[in-house]
Amino acid sequence: MKLSANDSARVTRVKDGDTYVLRKGNTDFTVRLKNVDAPESKQQFGFLSTVYVSKLISGKVVKYDSTGKDFYGRVLADIWVNNQRLDSILIRNGWAWQYLQYSNDSILKNCMLLALQEKKGLWECGAFSVCPPSLWRGYNLKYRNKYCNGCK
């Protein structure tokens, strides 16, 4: 992965842990951070993930590289804040999962393993207490309550 980005924009809104509104000039656009899947807003730790990411990037100028658009029309991007990869910051602090379906980055795998071992963020109760958003989105309420309750 590249160590620097080609473009920059200001973060005007954090929609959730992995989706942001950026402004470049007079144009606002929605960005979906590549490589990570943050908890959904109504999912356990979703609100806190959004709060932590907001504190980190809201109002700041970030660097980014766009890699296309997703199914929802959001710009897919790698983002850097304070010369650090945002995806690794989120994963290392337990604010998001590495999106294994789309990413096999060994740095991110190591970040997620360390966050799990140290019980950071969403990993506070261990690996079997968390429910990745990719599963949570597919479950009905019965299965969300059964498998996605987090710490008990």
pLDDT tens for 79-102 read: 999 999 999 999 999 999 998 778
CB 91 within 8 A of CB 97: yes
Q: Where are the domains of the chain?
A: 7-147
In sequence order, what DSSP letters do the residues of 76-118 get, joined into one string?
EEEEEETTEEHHHHHHHTTSSEE-TTT---HHHHHHHHHHHHT
Q: Does domain 7-147 have CATH number 2.60.40.420?
A: no
The reported pTM is 0.87
Q: Annotated active-site positions, please? A: 32, 40, 74
Higher pLDDT, 30 or 101: 30
Q: Give the pLDDT of residue 44.
A: 84
Mean pLDDT throughout 103-109? 90
